Each structure stands twice: as structure tokens, then as C-alpha cells.
Chains A and B, each alone.
Chain A
Amino acid sequence: DGGITQSPKYLFRKEGQNVTLSCEQNLNHDAMYWYRQDPGQGLRLIYYSQIVNDFQKGDIAEGYSVSREKKESFPLTVTSAQKNPTAFYLCASSIAGINGYTFGSGTRLTVV
């Protein structure tokens, strides 16, 4: 079955460490997105990519980095520069144009 997979589901990180969240899709979608979700703040766009080897900053890119070396994969690295990284992170993908997004099941990151 086609879908979008995020791993791990839960992740714990010590302060000062970088951590990478995985996002893989087998839907043959061109575009991929990373969102951060905090209670009461909805979804905030971190980075997005509309084509391989190209990506753009979203509204809250500071402290995060991404790569898009393959169409199927769009990993997100939360760096030590992100001051408040504890959150629920959602990855999504879509075909070119507007037909809605398909979301992964999310990764909950906790800094300990």
C-alpha cells in the first residue's frame, strides 16, 4: 500500500544534540513538507520541497535543516540551535498542483 512513513514515533534527545527525523513516501509525490505542531498553535511550516535537490524555508526554519536527495525521502534535522524543539513533527506529501496533502503519523520529539 502506498503511504508516507515517519520514524521513529517517539524520540528523546539531550540538550545540545542534533537529531534527524525520517520521512519516506512511496506515493510518487513531487512535493514534501515538514510541519511542527504545538498545543493551541495549529500547524507551522518548517521547510518544503517541490522537487528533488531543491527546498525552501517555511515560516519557522531557524534551527532546522533538510535535504532532498531522493524523491522518496525528506529527512529533517533538528539542530542544537533550535531553542525549543520539544513538539510533534508532521511530514506530508502531495502531487504537483492542489489535491490535498497526505500526512505521516508524526514523530513526537522530547528534549530531556
Chain B
Amino acid sequence: AQSVTQLDSQVPVFEEAPVELRCNYSSSVSVYLFWYVQYPNQGLQLLLKYLSGSTLVESINGFEAEFNKSQTSFHLRKPSVHISDTAEYFCAAGSSNTGKLIFGQGTTLQVKP
């Protein structure tokens, strides 16, 4: 069965420091990968996605993620975080077989001044 594991439930980091949020998935079929961000009391917003092609994908606000098939990972990175990046981040995987997304448990990014 397909599953998504986010290895850290909370990641505290100081402002302007780099950050990596880790995500591993398991799948035996072609996989599509997503990162979503959720601010308090709001819905999830799509941050970036990998469907095919280049394994490095970027968002408009400086986040990037790299699809690594051999390690079945899709880690999210940002070289310098801001206070406004404080939020919960969800990794998700989908397959063409089911048409549904499987979500990880979420990682809370806490950016401290």
C-alpha cells in the first residue's frame, strides 16, 4: 500500500537559517508528489508539485524540493526562512492507479526571531 512519511513532526529554526523538511514515500507505481502549506485555521495551499520531468521543482516563495527515486524521497528545502514561513507543511503522494492523494502526518515549521 502507498504511504507517505514525514520524518519530523516539528522543526524549530531561527530566522534566516536554512531548513529541510523530510518526506519519504513508498509506491510501486508511477508517483506524483506534492507539498502543501497550511496556516492556522486555513485550508491547505499547494506549494509545489512533481509530476514528471526535472527532478528539482521550485515554488515562487523560495522553497524547492527534489524528487529522488532511488531514495523514494521528496524533501522540501529553503536556504533562508522568514517568520512568515511559520506554518504546517504536508507532503502528499498520488498514483495514477487510484486517483487519490495520500498525505503525510504534517511537519510544523516554527521560525524564531
**Same complex origin of A and B:** yes
Closest A residue by C-beta to B95: A98
Cα distance A88–B41 in the bound complex, in angstroms? 8
Stretch at the interface among A11-19, A39-47, A76-84: A39-47
Nearest Cβ distance between residue A26 and chain B, in whole angstroms?
16
Count contacts on A: residues with CB < 8 A to the other chain: 26
| Nearest CB in chain A: distance from B104 CB, A | 7
User: How close is A70's CB to chain B, nearest CB, in angstroms?
Assistant: 20
A86 close to chain B: CB less than 8 A:
no
A106 and B106 within 8 A (CB):
no
With a 10 A CB-CB cut-off, give which of B34, B43, B94, B105 has the most chain A CB atoms.
Answer: B43
Name A90's contact: one of B9, B44, B96, B106 (CB within 8 Å): B44
Tell me if B103 and A43 are in contact (CB < 8 A): yes
Contacts of A105 in B (CB 8 A): 42-43
Complexed CA–CA distance, A78 and B51 (Å) = 35
Contact with A along B93-105 (1 / 0, CB 8 A): 0111001110111
Q: Is B90 touching A43 in the complex (CB atoms < 8 A)? A: yes
Query: Is B45 interfacial (CB-CB < 8 Å)?
Result: yes
Q: Taking CB as reference atom, which chain A residue is nearest B34?
A: A100
Is A50's beta carbon under 8 Å from chain B?
yes
A85 within 8 A of B: no
Residues of A within 8 A of B92 (CB): 100
Per-residue interface assignment for chain A, residues 99 to 111, with 1 indicating a CB less than 8 Å from any chain B CB and 0 otherwise: 1111111101000
Top 6 nearest A-B pairs (CB, nearest first) are: A103-B43, A42-B105, A98-B94, A103-B44, A98-B32, A105-B43
